[in-house]
Amino acid sequence: MTRSAPDSCPGVLRLHQAADGPLARIRVPGGRLESAQLQVLADAARDLGNGNLELTSRGNIQLRQVRDASELALRLGEAGLLPSETHERVRNIVASPLSGRIGGFADVRGLAVDLDAGLRADPRLSELPGRVLFTLDDGRGDVTTLRGDIGIQAVGTEFALLLAGADTGIRVGADEAVGVMLAAARGFLDLRGTSETGQWRLHEIAGGVESVVETLRRSPAGEPLELGAAHDIPIGWLDQDDGLVTLGAGVPLGTLSARTTEFLAAIERPVFVTPWRSLVITDLDEGPAETVVRVLAPMGLIFDANSPWLRVSACAGRPGCAKSHTDVRADLTAAVDSDRILPPTDTLPPTDNQLIPAEEVAEAGRQHWSGCERRCGRPHGPVTEVVATEHGYRIDRADEATEPGTAAN
């Protein structure tokens, strides 16, 4: 597949002109944010944006309606959130958020730091398309489900090399994992060339995985792993291996207000942005953890694993996207508030391709709502699609829906 348009992924230095104003995307490799960085993001959202942070499906952060791009870049640079002007859009690194604290076969936190440094140290890798995704899975199989372009998953004491979301059978030690991933990234660049309109993702190149494996000069040494498609989002009270507590918090529609972000900063503990539009608040003692839940649950963060908010997602819709037929997020919020997001066990009559008014949509199970047929942000795996048309919503049930090219953000 060859694209007819250049990769237009936004960053901090290259804003996207959304229908509601300029949009900036801030890369957060490994998802980790320190409290000082959270405070900077809260201030930036309030002073320079629309007052909210948006969590993306790659564990990054977006600000909408940015008023002063230079000031934003300055503030983020001082906070360590823009360490490279040349490589900012290629730092798409997602790591298992609980790694090193709860379970997993390996601690991938250091590998995320090293991979980020390795990317930034190679001038040529700034040419990677902004859509290329690196995944570092500590063995629990969570971020592997994102089907990154280049990734590793811990298997016992070593790592499986994953390309285009599948196991290559190549096994590497922890000390060589970053080097092999960087070599694979260079191999992908060699394949796609320097054309601005070349392929954005490894899976788009016919025979691309085999060609990259050849450049690595390594033979498959293990039976390819069966990779899962689903996993549990970390939500609620989670005991760390060292006796401290982690809290997993869902963020409805991934929208975090500046005020809530300030409260998160005040906890003064590392907070991780996950690719499931949720947060992981780490290293808490039990008493403070109870206080965090007491304060942040009324502010809208979700600590209950049965919340309907954890089964739904939506694209930007109106007013952020001019292609949208409706304010899809408002429609979905109304459905949640009026108990029309039904338990996964509910059985519903066939939809018969009927178009349904927003206020009558009532669906069961995991579902993604979109403002048009592009279905941006659709999660991988089985999901019911609720798609806006000019004359109402059409429902494609999980067992009937096709999986279109997912537009990542």
Query: Is residue 16 at the binding interface for ligand SF4, with CB under 6 A as the rule?
Result: no
Q: Which of residues 51-80 bind ligand SF4 (CB under 6 A)?
A: none
Residue with tokens 């994953």: 162
**For residues 270 and 97, what is the distance between their CA atoms, to the nearest angstrom?**
11
Query: Phi/psi of residue 22, each to 5°?
Result: -65, 140
Query: Is residue 375 at the binding interface for ligand SF4, with CB under 6 A as the rule?
Result: yes
Least separation in angstroms between CB 371 and ligand SF4: 3
Distance of CA 43 to the CA centre of its chain: 23
Q: Which of residues 318-347 bind ligand SF4 (CB under 6 A)?
A: 321, 323-324
Query: Is residue 370 at the binding interface for ligand SF4, with CB under 6 A as the rule?
Result: yes
Among 165, 270, 308, 371, binds ligand SF4 (CB under 6 A): 371
The kind and range of the H/E element at 208 are helix 208-216
Laid out side by side, the sheet with 166-172 consists of 93-95, 134-137, 150-155, 158-163, 166-172
Least separation in angstroms between CB 409 and ligand SF4: 9
In the bound state with ligand SF4, the residue whose beta carbon lies nearer, of 96 and 370, is 370
For the packed helices 174-192 and 109-121, what is the interaxial angle rounded to 10 degrees?
A: 40
**For residues 285 and 408, what is the distance between their CA atoms, to the nearest angstrom?**
36
Asked if 16 and 10 count as a contact pair (C-beta separation under 8 A), the reply is: yes
Among 163, 315, 335, 358, binds ligand SF4 (CB under 6 A): 315
In the bound state with ligand SF4, the residue whose beta carbon lies nearer, of 140 and 378, is 378
In the bound state with ligand SF4, the residue whose beta carbon lies nearer, of 59 and 371, is 371
Least separation in angstroms between CB 330 and ligand SF4: 13
Question: Residues in the chain, how many?
Answer: 409
Stretch that binds ligand SF4, among 40-48, 239-247, 275-283, 313-321 (CB under 6 A): 313-321
Among 186, 374, 380, 394, binds ligand SF4 (CB under 6 A): 374
Distance of CA 17 to the CA centre of its chain: 21
Question: Rounded to whole angstroms, what are the CA distances from 404 to 72, 310, 401?
Answer: 34, 22, 9
Least separation in angstroms between CB 328 and ligand SF4: 7
Please give the residue ranges that form the binding site for ligand SF4 (CB under 6 A).
315-317, 321, 323-324, 370-372, 374-376
